[in-house]
Structure 1
Amino acid sequence: MTDPAPSSETYNPWTVVNVVFHHLVAEGLHPTLGESGHPGEPAAELLRALGIRPAAEGNNRINDDIQRQLADLRSTMLDQPDEQH
């Protein structure tokens, strides 16, 4: 039996960090992330520790949906005759 193909599923890194933090709080802990400054790099380290490769683009499916919606809006707005002139 062979290993299944790796998943192409992506996650928004902040969603994963949020889930971890909620779990820690539920356990009675008081986690902090990036006690001073931007929390991006400490969040990325947390994700790497969990075996998740942080990606700046976040969830690709959401980005794809946004791009489709923007294309639909552009098509709708630009394909209609100009009624102001």
Structure 2
Amino acid sequence: MSDPSAHGERFNPWSVVHLVFDHLSAQGLHPVLGESGDPSEPAAELLRSLGITPGDPSWARGQDAEKIQDQLAEIRSLFTPADQGQDPDGR
């Protein structure tokens, strides 16, 4: 069996984070993204353990960082209870 990373196989760790987040959410769990630290390094370690070279996640700190943070905020809002901040009558 050959080493996949020797063939240049690379994968973005943030794609792994997104996949796992979606899977856990679909199972009815409520994952929290970002409050426990940067999840890209554990995702990169998972890729390494599977023989895949993680892509450089530094792009998330570049010019698209604000866009990414906006997208993460939108995802978090999907898991915020709809009645948060409302009185018992829904106002």
- The TM-score range, normalised by the shorter chain, is 0.3 to 0.5
- TM, length-normalised to structure 2: 0.42
